[in-house]
Amino acid sequence: MVADVLLAELPAGNNNKIGLVTLNAPAALNALNQSMIDQLFHQLNLWRDRRDIVAVFMASSSSKAFCAGGDVRAVREAAVAGNLAAVEQFFTSEYQLDYLIHRYPKPLICWGNGIVMGGGIGLMAGAMFRVVTDTSMLAMPEVAIGLYPDVAGSWLLHRLPVGLGLFMGLTGCRLNAADAIYTGLANRFIDHAFYDNVIESLQQADWQGANHHEVVYGVLATYQEKSAGWLPYSKVREHRDLIAGLMDQPSLGAIMSALDDLPDGDEWLMAARKGARSGSPLSAAISYRQLHQARHLSLKEALHSELVLSVNTVMHADFCEGVRALLVDKDHKPQWRYKNVDQIDEQSLEELFRSPWKENPLNKM
Ligand code: QUE
């Protein structure tokens, strides 16, 4: 069996080493399964405590994707089999990993080449150095499968330009490298052709006695400069005011109508409109409510509330049907529980936010 996470310790002079994790499940676009999450969590913890590890680098062996999300097919199978424990374990360990990355004390570089969606954003968002490339495509597309923007999305999406986080959650819109830099979801743009050079320069840098963050900063700055002419055009920046206006409505119903009423013309906006029209109305309502409720939560609190919501959404909302329609049967005809957001009754929605546990499983983190 081929390992789905490749580990390497690259020599970086004076017995220093750079920890390199390479996601290696290309057929699944590196969608994170339980084993990959466990391996990442274990190794990042070991490297954190090792004196000879000066920096950690996360990358992918696939030119198509850094990480397309979580292995939602496996999560659905567990849910369909009534294996609640497996569903709980998956989200608990995924969020623990995300939390570890957000608080990692060593320079952590995430090379977000190709697709970076959902759980992939969860890995990237917490890294100090978040690199996007000429092929990067970022999205929080969970509304399409009956989930909602988790992996700390309810913490992260508030920190984007006004209205954009909610817009991303309701439409699943796609961001390119320029959008990612503009929003802060990424903070370095480097052409993917420089990947080997970046690794080599990190290995050849003078780490001894130097501040390790400054070393990484300098190496990435060099290749960012060489890539400067390539940054694509930002649709998010162009439409910033429009998006803010669309999201500034008295109710979710009014927001969905505003999205539905977007005129033909701009292809990026039409794709977002399509995402909003075809996504799960229940997911839209969950996202809307969760984003508002999480406004003042810490990262840790946000993850705790997401764990409740994710497990409930998988067991009791549109998730299994969404994954069936988009990723299993691929008929792309999900039968959502509600036709539109106005038909959702408050009590059913409320129940999804109610914790099934006396103690949240993330309390051990
Ligand atoms: C929305 C999503 C996901 C998606 C498609 C969507 C998602 C996800 C995957 C995915 C992709 C490839 C795989 C896999 C899952 O697709 O979160 O197992 O092999 O993980 O429209 O949120």
In angstroms, what is the span from residue 273 Cα to ligand 1's centroid? 20
230, pLDDT greater than 90 = no
Residues 6+ apart with CB under 8 A from 363: 304
Question: How much is the pLDDT for 280?
Answer: 98
The residue type at 265:
G
Catalytic residue among 4, 19, 69, 70: 70
Q: Is 163 left (phi over 0), alpha (psi -120 to 50) or beta?
A: left
The token duo for 67 is 């990480």
Of 122, 126, 140, residue with least CA distance to 179: 140
Full-model pTM: 0.97
What whole-number distance in Å separates Cα of residue 90 and Cα of residue 150?
13
In angstroms, what is the span from residue 227 Cα to ligand 1's centroid? 30
- Told to judge if 119 belongs to the known catalytic residues of this protein, a careful annotator would answer yes
What whole-number distance in Å separates Cα of residue 242 and Cα of residue 291?
20
**Can you name the residues that pair with 264 across neighbouring β-strands?**
none
**Can you name the residues that pair with 32 across neighbouring β-strands?**
70
164, pLDDT greater than 70 = yes
1, pLDDT greater than 80 = no
Confidence of residue 228 (pLDDT cuts 50, 70, 90): confident
Q: How far is CA 59 from CA 92, 124, 335, in A?
A: 23, 10, 36
* 37-72 exposure pattern, b = at least 16 Cβ within 10 A, e = fewer: bebbbeebeebbeeeebbbbbbbbebeebbbbbbbb
Query: In the predicted model, what is the mean pLDDT of residues 234-241?
Result: 97
Yes or no: say if 317 and 344 are a contact pair by the CB < 8 Å rule.
no
Main-chain dihedrals φ then ψ at residue 94, nearest 5 degrees: -65, -45
Mean confidence (pLDDT) of the chain: 97
The token duo for 166 is 């909610």
- Over the stretch 315-358, which tens digit does the pLDDT of each residue have? 999 999 999 999 999 999 999 999 999 999 999 999 999 999 99
Ranges of beta strands (E only) in 268-345 are none
Main-chain dihedrals φ then ψ at residue 182, nearest 5 degrees: -60, -40
In angstroms, what is the span from residue 4 Cα to ligand 1's centroid? 17
What whole-number distance in Å separates Cα of residue 108 and Cα of residue 18?
10
What whole-number distance in Å separates Cα of residue 52 and Cα of residue 257?
56
What whole-number distance in Å separates Cα of residue 298 and Cα of residue 29?
31
Residue nearest to atom 22 of ligand 1 (CA): 142
Of 240, 324, 251, 312, residue with least CA distance to 283: 312
Identify the weakest region by mean pLDDT among 58-62, 102-106, 140-144, 361-365: 361-365
Question: How much is the pLDDT for 365?
Answer: 61
142 pocket-lining for ligand 1 (C-beta < 6 Å): yes
Question: How much is the pLDDT for 46?
Answer: 98
91, pLDDT greater than 70 = yes
38, pLDDT greater than 80 = yes
- Over the stretch 183-223, which tens digit does the pLDDT of each residue have? 999 999 999 999 999 999 999 999 998 999 999 999 999 99
75, pLDDT greater than 70 = yes
